[in-house]
């Protein structure tokens, strides 16, 4: 259950919501301060717990779930309209939770699918050519959704974990949890099965990859991805079992030649593509 808020704690919570983009204060719900944002159904409640943590409760279940491992999960004593909440032990974590929730309400994880359905609902899918048009639309939407989900991090390539052709539905193809944002060098290595990523984020390098190629893509030393990958687990398992060390480079090319060629092509494309 949330604790009664002292004036000092209430002031800190109000400053946190104002600093991070929430604009409207709503009537309090018991010991919870309530806030909203313009042109969005998302409501947020802020409180304090008996364990000394700040609590962030949210009205949208998908946003609460998508916060992943940021903060600690809270389940008891929530406002009636809040299906989920996270706890923050300090102000920096509280600020990150509020900012991330606000970002996710603009681009929830299933947003790429909604955009895809809207854009393709009236298009025919009878012939191979028509189905390729549908696929191309999805492949244009997917990177935008992935960039939005990963908060616009400055990585260059949106990489499917399980390739489009191997997915069993549009929902799986456009699932942001079936994608990673990778720089061109790592994207190439991932696509060709020279590296994979474990559930914990550890980058596993194939024994096929020579020392020169590892040096080229920055994997001479062990690497790991940060950020929650819990909901990527099913796709990552597919890649570990079906995509890793699958030998998808051109026959006769060494792994180093394959990666070097792909990086050069990507660099050329990015040089001529306007920002």
Within a domain: 196: yes
Identify the burial level of 173 via C-beta atoms within 10 angstroms of its C-beta, where 0-12 means exposed, 13-18 middle and 19 or more buried.
buried
On whether both 12 and 100 belong to a single domain, the answer is: yes
Is 175 inside any structural domain? no
Domain annotation covers residue 159? no
Please give the C-alpha separations between residue 21 and each of 24, 36, 105, 202, in angstroms, as whole numbers: 10, 9, 12, 34
Residue 176: what pLDDT? 86
On whether residue 222 sits in a domain, the answer given is yes
Model confidence over 162-186: pLDDT tens digits?
Answer: 988 899 998 899 888 898 888 777 8
Parent domain of 239: 183-272
Q: What pLDDT, on the 0 to 100 scale, is given for residue 40? A: 72
The DSSP symbol for 45 reads E
Tell which of 106, 133, 158 closes a domain. Answer: 106
DSSP-assigned letter for residue 87 = E
What does residue 86 show for φ and ψ, rounded to 5 degrees? -130, 150
pLDDT beneath 70: ranges in the chain: 1-2, 39, 106-109, 148-156, 226-228, 246-256, 259-275
What is the reported pLDDT for 88? 92
Domain assignment of residue 163, yes or no: no
Query: Residue 226 carries which DSSP code?
Result: -
- Report the number of distinct structural domains present in the chain: 2
**Does residue 145 lie within any of the structural domains?**
no
Burial class (CB in 10 A: 0-12, 13-18, 19+), 188: buried
Of the residues 106, 131, 155, the one at which a domain ends: 106
Cβ atoms of 2 and 47 closer than 8 Å: yes
pLDDT in tens, 216-253: 778 877 787 766 688 888 999 999 998 887 655 544 46
Instruction: Give the end of a domain, one of 72, 106, 140.
Output: 106
- Kindly report the number of other CB atoms within 10 A of residue 223's CB atom: 16
Is residue 174 included in any domain, yes or no? no
| Residue 234 domain-assigned (yes or no) | yes
């Amino acid at each position: 259950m949330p604790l009664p808020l002292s004036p000092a704690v209430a002031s800190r919570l109000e400053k946190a919501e104002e600093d991070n983009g929430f604009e409207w204060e709503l009537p309090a719900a018991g010991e919870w301060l309530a806030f909203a944002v313009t042109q969005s159904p998302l409501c947020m409640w802020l409180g304090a717990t008996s364990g000394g943590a700040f609590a962030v409760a949210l009205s949208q279940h998908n946003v609460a779930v998508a916060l992943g491992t940021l903060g600690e999960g809270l389940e008891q004593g929530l406002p009636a309209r809040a299906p989920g909440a996270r706890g923050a032990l300090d102000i920096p974590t509280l600020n990150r939770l509020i900012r991330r929730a606000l970002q996710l309400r603009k681009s929830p994880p299933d947003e790429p699918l909604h955009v895809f359905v809207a854009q393709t609902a009236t298009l025919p899918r009878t012939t191979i050519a028509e189905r390729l048009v549908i696929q191309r639309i999805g492949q244009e939407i997917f990177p935008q959704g992935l960039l939005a989900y990963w908060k616009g991090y400055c990585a260059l390539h949106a990489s499917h974990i399980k390739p489009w052709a191997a997915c069993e539905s549009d929902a799986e193809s456009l699932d942001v949890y079936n994608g990673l944002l990778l720089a061109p060098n790592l994207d190439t290595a991932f696509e060709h099965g020279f590296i994979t990523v474990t559930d914990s984020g550890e980058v596993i390098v194939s024994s096929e990859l020579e020392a020169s190629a590892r040096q080229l893509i920055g994997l001479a030393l062990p690497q790991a991805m940060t950020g929650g990958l819990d909901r990527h687990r099913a796709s990552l398992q597919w890649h570990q079992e079906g995509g890793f060390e699958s030998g998808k480079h051109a026959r006769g090319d060494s792994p180093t030649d394959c990666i070097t060629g792909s990086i050069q092509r990507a660099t050329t494309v990015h040089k001529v593509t306007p920002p």
